[in-house]
Amino acid sequence: MRTIFGASAAFAVALATSTIAIPATESAGKTVIHIKDFKYKPTPVHVRVGERVHFVNDDDEAHTVTAKDKSFDSEGLDTGKSWDHVFTKPGTYAYFCELHPYMKATVLVTK
């Protein structure tokens, strides 16, 4: 029994460590959203207030990053161009591409 408990405790520690490592990695670098194949990847994205989000157009077409409520707008991003936005208020931000309105994605901003 002692061995089984020890093994599960070690497993729990490993789990806890990996759970902590994921957000630490995200906050260490900036959040990057790639636009590829007429999609924003990944979505939805979770960020903290004040965090910078970097959008990169990896597609052969121009795209925009435009808030549904128009609170932000990258305007046209050609192939290889990028655009940054800092989210200063908590909330759920739906955005889309003005050139291809069926392209939709979400950024969730928490304190």
Residues that bind Cu ion (CB under 5 A): 63, 97, 99-100
- Min separation Cβ 35 and Cu ion, Å: 7
Rg for the chain, CA atoms, rounded: 18
- Closer by beta carbon to Cu ion, 48 or else 56: 56
The phi, psi pair for 69, rounded to 5°, reads -90, 10
- Min separation Cβ 56 and Cu ion, Å: 13
- Min separation Cβ 45 and Cu ion, Å: 18
- Closer by beta carbon to Cu ion, 31 or else 74: 74
- Closer by beta carbon to Cu ion, 105 or else 109: 105
- Min separation Cβ 74 and Cu ion, Å: 11
**DSSP 8-state secondary structure symbol assigned to residue 81:** -
- Closer by beta carbon to Cu ion, 37 or else 69: 37
Sorted by sequence, the CB contacts under 8 Å of residue 11 that are 6+ apart come out as: none
In the sheet that 52-57 helps form, which strands lie side by side, from edge to edge?
Answer: 39-41, 31-36, 52-57, 82-86
